[in-house]
Amino acid sequence: MVYMKLSLFMSISQHVFPRPPYMGLKSFFVRSFFFTIFFTTVEIPTALAEPWLGTRFAQNCAGCHAPGRKNLPPVLRRCSLSCQGCHVNPNGGGMRSFYGKWNEDKWLRSFRVKKLGQERLPAPLHRQHYGKNLKAKPKPQTLKKVADHGLPMVLSDKEFEQEMLYDRHHDKFYYVNATSTDDYKYTIPKDDPYRLMDATKIDGGGDFRLFAYRLGRGEDKKVRHFLMEASFGLRYRPLRNTHIVYESRYFGPPVGQQIDQIPGQEQTRSMYIMQDDLPWNIYAMGGYYKPLFGNYTPDHTALAQVMTSLLTTGQGNIAKALYKAVSFGTAPNVPFANLHYINKRVGTTPNNDETGYAGNIGLRFVSFGGQVNYSFWSTNDTSVDNDPKKIEMHAFELRAAYLDYIFGMEAISFAKDQKLEDFREGGLITAEGRYRFWRENYASLELANANVARDLSPGFARQIKVGTKHFLIPGLEISTQYSIDEGRSKPTAANPNTAAFKQNTLSLMIHTYF
């Protein structure tokens, strides 16, 4: 049905919007917008968020490592759907771990370009050398040799396999407990992330986001394009599970900037030391980073991101938030928990007198990629004499997937108590959905509604985002989005002159990462 709709739409679009010899940015915007509207109105509405990828691949065991992996006792088990499943930082975002890079190279793509040396999918378990004869018991000498070096991984002869061949119902080792360390490593081939991690002590990564947008409804309709963000990260592991990480980031202004003005404007994204892979998958870390709260996404224009950023830092881009903190957490399979002590706020809006706590607790399931997460944030700011400020936030999140649909909901309550200002409190609910219409191409819809204005003053705020997301080849993503923002502040004694806020934005982002 989806293929019929795609063919029908492309046929119609060729007549209604004939493609010129060179498709300019404006033409691309128009066709992408109608493509988005087609899929988000004909099918069930869908979503926008980055952590949804954990839900997307939750039932694909080979989405993290080679097919087939015997279980270890719970105290030693590392299988988890937490942020650390794909990222080095347990708070999510930033450098990808070897498991995250595996998913990027093998699965997060719609095409494979042979000339670029892009990797093929691993073959299902029944075709792997260690999975052909499950009842066979290798000789002790063979078991030891294979455990030390691993068998060659058999690659699929198909560009795209049926994913159900990689789920726990087809993975015959899923419910099997390893009898020894060698028995466990016997099912880990040479090119598995587990072994690739031992090949080097230094690794890194980077992100580049090129952004183009146009405002509508009587506003400046000029198309603006700029380098929105460039990030680089480096990790050194003196021991296998000791991580010393530094990440830098550059933010480009929306009005554009000459390339020779960029040096010297870099910012620290994170800098920390972490010890992980402790019993029960416990980790401990300390340094400079942003503690996790709620459903953090790279879309800093999402209403939830804007409002929580204004509340905590006084600026509209939460991606710039940076704290000095110490964190402890655990993610032994289904449950997970993180506790953060915040010592101060640093970076572009420093505050040496802001301290507090943040935390997360929840459950993540393989079945339907189910997720339940509760987060809290409580900080006190005593930097201004006789004007202390206390911030408190709570978030509750649900997420699940069914077939090619991914759904999510997040509710946030927040309050700011400051002696010399009006008391601010309110709530925000975001509902999102996503539909995978072909390979790794998605249509999305996000609805957000708040009972206060964007600046947390009395009033209201709403946001609608429709878009598409296309993971074309490993390390290349293109997304389009149409956003409608509106709201109004109620007159107060402190601010009697209020005005309605309304803005429509059409945007295109090219994201490349490694």
DSSP string, 375-407: EEEEEEE--STT--EEEEEEEEEEEEEETTEEE
Q: Say which residue, 6 or 345, is predicted with more confidence.
A: 345
Per-residue pLDDT at 271: 97
User: Mean pLDDT across the chain, nearest whole number?
Assistant: 85
Instruction: Give the HSE-up count for residue 389: Cα atoms under 13 Å, Cβ half-sphere.
Output: 17
Q: How far is 429 from 417, CA to CA, in rounded Å?
A: 21
Q: Out of 133-137, 291-295, 466-470, which region has the weakest mean confidence (pLDDT)?
A: 133-137
> For the whole model, what pTM was predicted?
0.85
Contact 406/47 with Cβ under 8 angstroms? yes
Angle at CA 507, nearest 5°, toward 504 and 511?
A: 150
Q: How far is 306 from 461, CA to CA, in rounded Å?
A: 11
Band (56; pLDDT cuts 50, 70, 90): very high
Average pLDDT score over residue span 55-83:
90
Q: How far is 22 from 43, CA to CA, in rounded Å?
A: 31
**Which one-letter DSSP state was computed for residue 87?**
B
* Surface-to-core class of residue 41, CB atoms within 10 Å of its CB (0-12 exposed, 13-18 middle, 19+ buried): exposed
Contact 183/475 with Cβ under 8 angstroms? no
Q: Hey, which residues does 8 pair with through a beta bridge?
A: none
Contact 90/243 with Cβ under 8 angstroms? no
Average pLDDT score over residue span 119-146:
90
Per-residue pLDDT at 9: 33
Q: Out of 55-69, 243-257, 332-346, which region has the weakest mean confidence (pLDDT)?
A: 243-257
189: left (phi over 0), alpha (psi -120 to 50) or beta: beta
Neighbours of 392 (CB within 10 A): 17
The H or E element that residue 115 is part of is none
Nearest to 120 by CA among 72, 87, 158: 158
Residue 117 above 70 pLDDT? yes
Q: Hey, which residues does 96 pair with through a beta bridge?
A: 87
| pLDDT per residue as tens digits for the range 367-378 | 999 999 999 999
Q: Kindly state the tokens that stand for 372.
A: 């339940």
Contact 208/230 with Cβ under 8 angstroms? yes
Q: How far is 22 from 312, CA to CA, in rounded Å?
A: 46
CA distances from 93 to 67, 299, 438 (A): 26, 12, 26
Domain boundaries, the chain: 2-42
Per-residue pLDDT at 432: 96
Q: Kindly state the tokens that stand for 17.
A: 């919007």
Q: Out of 38-47, 177-186, 329-338, which region has the weakest mean confidence (pLDDT)?
A: 38-47
Per-residue pLDDT at 273: 98
Residue 386 above 80 pLDDT? no
Per-residue pLDDT at 234: 97
Per-residue pLDDT at 425: 87
| pLDDT per residue as tens digits for the range 253-269 | 776 666 666 677 788 99
Nearest to 186 by CA among 72, 76, 69: 69
